[in-house]
Amino acid sequence: MSCDGKEGGFPGSRLEDSSSSDDGAEDVPESMDHQQQAPECPYPSTQHDDDSWRDDDEVEPRNPPADGNMRVVASHYNELKESGRIERLKSRIFHMRNFNNWIKSQLISEYLTLIKHSQRMGDPMRVLDMCCGKGGDLLKWEKALITHLICTDIAEVSVEQCKKRYEDILRRAVKSKFAHKFSAEFFACDSTLVRLRERFKDPSLKLNLVSCQFAFHYSFESLTQADCMVRNAAECLQPGGYFIATIPDAYEIMKRLRLSENGRSFGNDVYNIEFCSDTDPPPFFGAKYQFHLEGVVDCPEFLVHFPTLVKLCRKYGLKLERKTTFADYYKENKETGRNLLQRMNGLETVNPNRIGNDEQYEHIRRYIKGNTSRSYGSLSKSEWEATTLYLVCAFRKCKNTWDAQGKPVFEFD
């Protein structure tokens, strides 16, 4: 597909079960645990100390208004085909997709746990899954024992599939005495254009968690769109509630771009990023690139200038609590999340005797220093390079008072 992102479909790679995820991974039921125990082989983390934007302080859109990229994005996701389990197993990014899904599980569990600790027994747990896709996180919500879920996405086909999956979960829960049941509502809309609360069944609803996984960056097409998306994330959150997201790490992208040969594109055999113009430094909004991920994504995306995101969030009472690259989040969570990572097949079991001189596993050869007596859990070099394009972030909703004009005054501590 060309860099203008106006053609072609969204090649899918899906499981046939009811839990596949649009970031390419899925919730894995406990019974699918067939990966052997394998110690994880660490892979060097990437650094980003390079501020790639102009260093003034303005949050000004320098790009023209939205040019229809959202239509392109929506049709990509709407056209996404479900593929069989066999096909998915053969994918070169099978483990990376599961690894990304594990990161989401850890993040969701971390913040739901924090919220639960501040609640009383029996308090409701209400979640907005903004840009929910086909419902890849539904089993996570079920396992976390939430009470109400709102799912929305720009792609109507995805929302329909998400709703069907929820109904399947509910049917199973009704049959089983012990399964957890939660209520849910679904609607399709553009979160960068529409005020979501007006589409809620109860617009006065207070949420505990807003989750936006692998999608928030689409809003950085323009200030207006990003502002709308942040307001949607913030305005229904209770004080003490959280907005959590996984987004591409724009610093890492700019760093790799500047190291690239042609200064416009870079990647490997599983992913590619190509900038549509050679704006360097990039603008705060509308810094567009074409993202291609092996068999899963071929879509226009936008850099998220993180300090600008933090400013927008503050405007709506959201205080930054965490910004961590996937590489570091993995390091932080690999002990506590080890069993889940294994169950989710988030790492490939690599036998050092079988890797020969394959440069994809060079890091393992270096790590084991000749000891070939056991297997290691790892990702291939290409998969690792792709997953380390991302970061996790979390913002906490602050309490507020009201000024004489009726505007909220947030207490940021």
Ligand X SMILES: C[S@@+](CC[C@H](N)C(=O)[O-])C[C@H]1O[C@@H](n2cnc3c(N)ncnc32)[C@H](O)[C@@H]1O
364 binds ligand X (CB under 6 A): no
CA distance 170 to 182: 8
DSSP string, 99-122: HHHHHHHHHHHHHHHHHHHTSPTT
The binding track of 217-236 with respect to ligand X, each residue x by CB under 6 A or -, is -x------------------
What does the CA dihedral 295, 280, 320, 185 come to, rounded to 10 degrees? -40
CA distance 234 to 342: 34
Tell whether residue 213 is among the known ligand binding residues: yes
Tell whether residue 131 is among the known ligand binding residues: yes
Which residue, 153 or 348, is less far from ligand X as judged by CB?
153
**Residue 173 parent element (H or E):** helix 156-175
Alpha helices in 285-353 (DSSP H): 306-315, 326-333, 338-343
Cα Rg of the chain (Å, integer): 21
Tell whether residue 153 is among the known ligand binding residues: yes
Which residue, 99 or 218, is less far from ligand X as judged by CB?
218
Which residue, 151 or 237, is less far from ligand X as judged by CB?
151
Tell whether residue 104 is among the known ligand binding residues: yes
Q: How far is CA 306 from CA 127, 216, 247, 248, 329, in A?
A: 24, 12, 10, 10, 17
214 binds ligand X (CB under 6 A): yes
77 binds ligand X (CB under 6 A): yes
Give me the residue whose beta carbon is nearest to ligand X.
Answer: 133
Stretch that binds ligand X, among 2-10, 72-80, 281-289, 352-360 (CB under 6 A): 72-80
107 binds ligand X (CB under 6 A): no
108 binds ligand X (CB under 6 A): no
Residues 116-155 that bind ligand X (CB under 6 A): 131-133, 136, 153-155
Residue from 18, 19, 21, 52 binding ligand X (CB under 6 A): 21
Which residue, 214 or 329, is less far from ligand X as judged by CB?
214
Which residue, 91 or 349, is less far from ligand X as judged by CB?
91
CA distance 149 to 126: 6
Produce one character per residue of 244-273: b if its CB has 16 or more CB atoms within 10 Å, e if not.
bbbbbbbbbbbbbbeeeeeebbbbeebbbb
Nearest distance in Å: CB 134, ligand X: 7
158 binds ligand X (CB under 6 A): yes
Going by the annotation, the residues of the binding site for mRNA are 100-101
